[in-house]
Amino acid sequence: MSELSLRDYSVGRMAAFVSLALAISGCAQEVTDPEPGSSIASGSSGVTATSSAAQEATTEGNAQDRPTLHVVDENQFAEILKAHHGEVVLVDCWATWCFRCLELMPHTVELQKNFGDLGLHVILLSLDSPEDSREAAADLLARKGVDFDSYISVYGTGAKSAEAFEIEGGALPSMKLYDRKGKLRRVFSAGHMPPEPFEEEDIAEAVRELLAEE
């Protein structure tokens, strides 16, 4: 089989797996290449995640208090992770159109507040469009009380972001937890195959366990 055929086969297989996960879990939101002006469906309830969250953030957000979302690619992000060796690092991959991501955001903020002095460093990575949604995403983070490192993928809302940042199954929410040596130890992802649901306390417990390690 040719290299091109193998690639097509792999992409098709991944798409099939992701579709199965979404159907079973009813909550995962896949990172795709959306059509201009389209919306992304969330869950089995028929609720559609549009740009309303971003629009609301723009309206109510305080621009003066907005965190800066630095645009990064996968290589730059790898260097950022290396700079925090010696700390437990939680990377929260999210997007303004991911309702479950927004539900988890206050918990992520609390983790940084409660464990920051103990060696936890939280990093946010947005998969929104850096051209169209960067300011709206920053406004939303300001409303959520985010005052720590925040970045946005140079590849925006597309399959390239999922590939570059190794987001399991191409689905959000997705959280990665690294130990003090920079080793990836836990992944909490809507893209697990088969779907493995996780709650806020699961993440907090994993953080406590890594902080307790020498």
pLDDT band for position 28 (50/70/90)?
low
How large is the average pLDDT for residues 194-198? 71
Q: Is the pTM of this model over 0.85?
A: no
pLDDT band for position 68 (50/70/90)?
confident
How large is the average pLDDT for residues 169-193? 91
Structural tokens at position 193: 């195959």
Per DSSP, the three-state class of 155 is coil
Q: What is the pLDDT of residue 191?
A: 77
User: In the chain, what are the domains?
Assistant: 3-212 (3.40.30.10)
CA separation, residue 202 to residues 14, 108, 167 (Å): 26, 12, 19
CB 112 within 8 A of CB 120: yes
Q: What is the pLDDT of residue 145?
A: 92
Angle formed at CA 68 by CA 187 and CA 168, multiple of 5 degrees: 20
Pick the more confident residue, 66 or 57. 66
Q: Is the pLDDT of residue 6 over 50?
A: no
Q: Is the pLDDT of residue 88 over 70?
A: yes
How many C-beta atoms surround the C-beta of residue 140 within 10 A?
A: 25
Pick the more confident residue, 146 or 16. 146
DSSP string, 106-142: HHHHHHHHHHGGGTEEEEEEE-S-TTTSHHHHHHHHH
C-alpha closest to that of 175 among 135, 132, 123, 214: 123
Report the chain's mean pLDDT, rounded to a whole number: 78
pLDDT band for position 214 (50/70/90)?
confident
How many C-beta atoms surround the C-beta of residue 9 within 10 A?
A: 11
Pick the more confident residue, 190 or 151. 151
Q: Is the pLDDT of residue 112 over 90?
A: yes
pLDDT band for position 66 (50/70/90)?
confident
Q: What is the pLDDT of residue 159?
A: 93
The type of residue at 188 is F
Percentages helix, strand, coil for the chain (3-state, rounded to 5) are 45, 20, 35
